[in-house]
Amino acid sequence: MPKVLITAKEVDDIIINGLKKLGYEVNHLPGPSEADLLEIIAVYEGIIVTTYTKLNQKVLDQATNLKFIGRVGSGLENIDLEYAKQKGIEVMSSPEGNANAVGEHALGLLLGVMNKISQANQEVKNGIWQREENRGEELDGKTVGIIGLGHTGNAFARKLRGFDVKVLAYDKFKTHYGTDWIQEVSLDDLFEKSDVISLHIPYLQENFHFINQEKIAKMIRKPYLIHTCRGEVIDTKAVLSALETNSIKGLGIDMYEDEPWTKGKNVSLEIYKELFSLDQVIATPHIGGWTIESKIKLAHVLMDKIEAWKMRS
């Protein structure tokens, strides 16, 4: 009986039962190290992973029987896609499954940071009553710029339809994507005209520190920045500096250059601590796509793709 390895810490029964119906023996090894994978991966025909399992060339060289990789979620930067393609390994992900969750979370971060909800919440719980100091801003009348109009970018744009806002969008990989409520613009125009900028781009090498000191200097309106895509897309140190000089008015952040940030490997702990000490920052622990509903949707989407691939094979 062919085998599939699941490395996700938590996996919905939809995937486990679906794989068994397809005739696979399913083994669950949450969060294996690279050494673990190198030792066992040769016996598996399929593997189901999340963000934190790295399938690099070294691991894939040992995966002599591997036919498919299933990614629960959207980002594929933890998989050597080109090498997997060379080896004839099918790679499937499920970005459709948590796009709505990310869209809602991005909106929640935006409303939270504009209205100082996190700061006010902590003050009230500590017996501090400050109304004028916590006066917020309304979203209506603002211009919102969306960078990356894929699954999550589109989901966020749909959430904005209930507000009286102007929506600008830039997507490097698309053309003619404007709609009756989304205006297609250049990246420079988006930086210049946006009161809010929300990031929804994948992590590619070319997107490393996409938001950096040079790009921040183009943000004429000193916008609120919402970050729900991959951590490496922003230069954390540059964003901290921009917040301290009011070049960026506020930050809602769900993704980090280190996860958890306490690792302090790519960015120093001092920078993270200074960032999180700022009242105009709301931070959440990579939960944008992590809802009760998205867990089920992600599983359904991925199993549908695996079943379709199986039928073609």
In this model, does residue 81 exceed pLDDT 90? yes
CB 233 within 8 A of CB 210: yes
The verdict on 135 and 244 lying in the same domain is yes
Q: What is the structure's pLDDT at 253?
A: 98
Q: For residue 155, is it within any domain?
A: yes
Q: Which of 158, 209, 221, 286 is catalytic?
A: 286
Looking at every residue in the chain, the average pLDDT score rounds to: 96
Q: For residue 299, is it within any domain?
A: yes
In this model, does residue 9 exceed pLDDT 90? no
The verdict on 118 and 263 lying in the same domain is yes
In this model, does residue 303 exceed pLDDT 90? yes
The verdict on 49 and 131 lying in the same domain is no
The verdict on 138 and 218 lying in the same domain is yes
pTM of the model: 0.94
Give the length of the chain: 313
Q: What is the structure's pLDDT at 11?
A: 86
The verdict on 239 and 133 lying in the same domain is yes
Distance of CA 167 to the CA centre of its chain: 20
The verdict on 271 and 218 lying in the same domain is yes
Is 80 strand, coil or helix?
coil
Q: For residue 288, is it within any domain?
A: no
Q: Is 286 a catalytic residue?
A: yes
> For 13-40, what is the mean pLDDT?
95
The verdict on 76 and 129 lying in the same domain is no
In this model, does residue 107 exceed pLDDT 90? yes
Q: For residue 13, is it within any domain?
A: yes
Q: For residue 182, is it within any domain?
A: yes
∠ CA 171-259-97, nearest 5°, is: 50
Range of the domain at 186: 99-283
Taking alpha carbons only, the member of 222, 218, 235 closest to residue 271 is 235
Q: Is 230 a catalytic residue?
A: yes
Q: Which of 77, 259, 274, 307 is catalytic?
A: 259
Domain tally, the chain = 2
Q: What is the CATH number of the domain that holds 47?
A: 3.40.50.720
Banded model confidence at residue 52, pLDDT cuts 50, 70, 90? confident
**What digits encode the pLDDT tens for the residues 119-145?**
999 999 999 999 999 999 999 999 999
Dist CA 240 CA 238 (whole Å): 5
Banded model confidence at residue 204, pLDDT cuts 50, 70, 90? confident
Calculate what percentage of the chain has a pLDDT beyond 70.
100
The verdict on 74 and 108 lying in the same domain is no
In this model, does residue 207 exceed pLDDT 90? yes
In this model, does residue 10 exceed pLDDT 90? no
Dist CA 285 CA 155 (whole Å): 20
The verdict on 27 and 167 lying in the same domain is no
Calculate what percentage of the chain has a pLDDT beyond 90.
94
In this model, does residue 313 exceed pLDDT 90? no
Q: For residue 262, is it within any domain?
A: yes
The verdict on 52 and 109 lying in the same domain is no
The verdict on 130 and 222 lying in the same domain is yes
Q: For residue 211, is it within any domain?
A: yes
**What digits encode the pLDDT tens for the residues 185-195?**
999 999 999 99
β-pairing, 182-184 vs 166-170, is parallel
Dist CA 218 CA 135 (whole Å): 27
The verdict on 138 and 21 lying in the same domain is no
The token pair that represents 111 in the structure block: 């409303």
The DSSP secondary-structure symbol of 146 reads E
Q: For residue 308, is it within any domain?
A: yes
